[in-house]
Amino acid sequence: MEKGYFITGTDTNVGKTWATIALMRYFKSQGKSVAGMKPVASGCLIQGGRLKNEDALLIQANASLPIDYDLINPYAYELPVSPHIAGVNNPVKLGQLAAGFETLKTLADIIVVEGAGGWYAPLNERETISDLAKLLALPVIMVVAIRLGCINHARLTYQAVAQSGVNCVGWIAVCTEPELLGGDQNIQTIKSTVDAPLLGVLPYREVADFDFFAEQLKM
């Protein structure tokens, strides 16, 4: 089994965090110790006198052991905009993120790293999420929100990941709309046109049921 996985999405707000938590619980059910990382987060709120991100807090809460927040989310930005804009006064340094990841690797069997936005989302003025994934040298799991346009988004993202030289080990479908016409057909079309296995389908839920989601995964 791999030491960890990098979670990328076909866009922002596609269900990456729900998929990340589902994966963490899946690996815990397999008897593995698990930690998560959300290296960069925008739209953070002040909690306890410091900026924190709700998704990163959820990742922290689902780890197998207590981990300091700064290790899970080294770059927490207040503005809900792209990291290269939100972090203009404190730009992302990939070396710092890699060092934090190396520390996490010593603490747990599996590390699940959630990216920000899509594959080419800019982290600073020069580097993108794809550069971070390549630096961490993790296999990639692609999260696809099943909605209008998802087939095109999935194929483009998969192509971009493959061209980056990173191994895409599979994809997770997240049903983000309660009544989407042709949702099952969209999933089947992506399955037949993307050369990576479907690892699971997370059905639509108004409120996340992560243990149920974990049961839908097959790694």
Q: What is the pLDDT of residues 18-49, one digit of tens each?
A: 999 999 999 999 999 999 999 999 999 999 89
Say if residue 128 carries a ligand binding annotation. Answer: no
Q: Residue 84 pLDDT > 90, yes or no? A: yes
17 is in an annotated binding site: yes
At 206 the pLDDT is: 94
116 labelled as ligand-binding?
yes
DSSP 176-219: --TT-TTHHHHHHHHHHHSSS-EEEEE---SS--HHHHHHT---
Provide the H-helix boundaries in 62-193: 69-72, 83-86, 94-105, 129-136, 150-163, 183-193
Among 61, 120, 123, 62, residue whose Cα is nearest residue 97: 123
Residue 59 has pLDDT above 70, yes or no: yes
Q: Residue 139 in contact with residue 168, Cβ under 8 Å?
A: yes
Q: Could you give the domains of the chain?
A: 4-215 (3.40.50.300)
174 annotated to a ligand binding site: yes
Mean pLDDT is lowest, of 7-11, 105-109, 114-118, 179-183, for 179-183
- pTM assigned to the model: 0.96
Q: What is the mean pLDDT of residues 141-169?
A: 97
Q: If DSSP codes are grouped into helix, strand and coil, which group holds residue 49?
A: coil
Helices (H) and strands (E) in the chain, counts: 9, 10
Among the options 16, 28, 38, 52, which is catalytic?
A: 38
Please say if 3 is a catalytic residue: no
Q: What is the enclosing helix (H) or strand (E) of 24?
A: helix 16-29
117 among annotated binding-site residues: yes
> Does 131 appear as a known binding residue?
no
CA gap 150, 156 in Å, rounded: 10
Mapping DSSP to helix (H, G, I), strand (E, B) and coil, where does residue 86 land?
helix
**Quick one: which of 72, 11, 66 has its CA closest to 40?**
72
